[in-house]
Amino acid sequence: MQTFECPKCGAPVTYDPNFATSAHCPYCQSQLAVPNEMRGEPARVIPRIDINIGPQVAATASKALWFVALIPVVIVMIVLAGVFGAISQIRRALVPLSTPIATRDRPTGSRTSDPANAFASVTLKFGSEGIGPGMMTDARSIATDGQGNIYVGEYSGGRVQVFDSSGKFITQWIADPKMPLRGLAVDRRGSVYVVQRGVITRYDGQTGKSLGTVAYSEGNGFDDVTVTPEGGLVCPWYSGRDDIVRFDTAGKVTQIIRAAISTPADRSELDTRVAVDGRGNIYALGSFTNGVFKFNRDGKFINRFGGPGRQAGQLSAVNAIAVDGKGRVFVSDTKGIQVFDADGRYLTVFDPGGVASGMVFNDKNELLIVSRSKVIKFALKE
């Protein structure tokens, strides 16, 4: 059995890849089509051929086949014996038994300078699999506040953990334990915005106390949330269509981009991730379209890039999006983390050491990612 994420509520949906073309979501009760790329090949049936032969002929043929089958096995054993014998002679000739063989110790500690590639180098790594403080299980969301504290949200169970900038555990609290945690954002003051059940709830980041929900007159149905440079919010809304809604710092709606992705893409989008750059431009990442859609501060569509495919600059099974202080766009997919300039031109790709389910930049323009049970920080080439 395998699972995929429900495009309507984000819950894990179980299916049999060899037989199922559709699946049922136990959370939102939706009947879903299994994506083509996740369907396995049906079992091949080998036809049975009956040949009527006598028992004596069958017994003779069976013995002959058994003898023939043993011949290649014996040959392989003879060859291997000769090879291993030769290797043993060479080793005895070159390396005396008393000569120690030098080994390299494995690096330890949470800090490392091992590069992901020439573009990004790891400067901090912490976390492990588990449910204790500082440990994580299926963490998919990450955010930072103005003090550099790191917030990590787990998809199942609603747990949010808080770490300082060096990865030291500070505290933890639980949002809604019954629903998947779809999105997480933190403003500079440490207020945490969590997306569950299509609702955005605001929490005190240190205590986990609920401070109310973000009101929207058209109802619930939010996919994700990100904080603007001014402290407002940008949120994709999927209930009925793929809108993008902008709120100011007081929670007032200031902009709605109607059918933001389905209009330029000419197809519906039910799972959208968003990021905002320093100028207020919005970048919407479509999980169904595998594309990035850019809108200016006024909500006007500017550009589309990415698109489905396996080549450099094309996207497949996207997870997260973030924009750094230089306006470069980072997209996590099956290739790793692909980097584009502000106009959508492909720059490079690097391996983050896991699936980057969530990404965020801090004030130092360092990239932080979360990958199931660990957080990794990267310093980037300027």
* Structural domain boundaries in the chain: 2-38, 120-380
Kindly report which listed range (39-43, 115-119, 124-128) carries the lowest average pLDDT score. 39-43
Kindly report which listed range (222-226, 265-269, 354-358) carries the lowest average pLDDT score. 265-269
What is the per-residue pLDDT across 252-294, written as a single tens digit (0 to 9) for each? 999 999 999 999 998 888 899 999 999 999 999 999 999 999 9
Q: Tell me which of 268 and 221 has the higher pLDDT.
A: 221
Percent of the chain residues past pLDDT 90, beyond the cut: 66
pLDDT score of 118: 84
Residue 328 has pLDDT above 60, yes or no: yes
Output the pTM of the full model: 0.72
Question: In the CATH hierarchy, which top-level class contains the domain 120-380?
Answer: mainly beta
Instruction: Give the mean model confidence (pLDDT) for residues 156-172.
Output: 98
pLDDT score of 367: 99
Give the Å distances, CA to CA, from 59 to 62, 66, 238, 320.
5, 11, 69, 64
DSSP-derived secondary structure letter, 105? P
What is the per-residue pLDDT across 55-86, written as a single tens digit (0 to 9) for each? 443 444 444 444 445 565 546 555 554 544 44
DSSP 313-334: T-BSS--EEEE-TT--EEEEET
Residue 307 has pLDDT above 70, yes or no: yes
Contact 340, 364 (CB under 8 A): no
Determine whether 264 is exposed, middle or buried from the number of CB atoms within 10 Å of its CB (0-12, 13-18, 19+). Answer: middle
Closest by CA to 141, choosing from 195, 189, 187, is 195
- What is the pLDDT confidence band of residue 23, given thresholds at 50, 70 and 90? confident
Distance of CA 188 to the CA centre of its chain: 25
pLDDT score of 58: 41
pLDDT score of 25: 74
pLDDT score of 11: 63
Residue 293, both tokens: 């859609």
Contact 205, 151 (CB under 8 A): yes
Residue type, 115: P
**What is the Cα–Cα distance from 356 to 148, expressed in whole angstroms?**
20
Long-range contacts of 279-287 (CB under 8 A, 24+ apart): 279/327, 280/228, 280/229, 280/230, 281/342, 282/234, 282/244, 282/246, 282/257, 283/321, 283/323, 283/329, 284/236, 284/244, 284/260, 285/318, 285/320, 285/321, 285/331, 286/242, 286/261, 286/318, 287/7, 287/318
pLDDT score of 107: 35
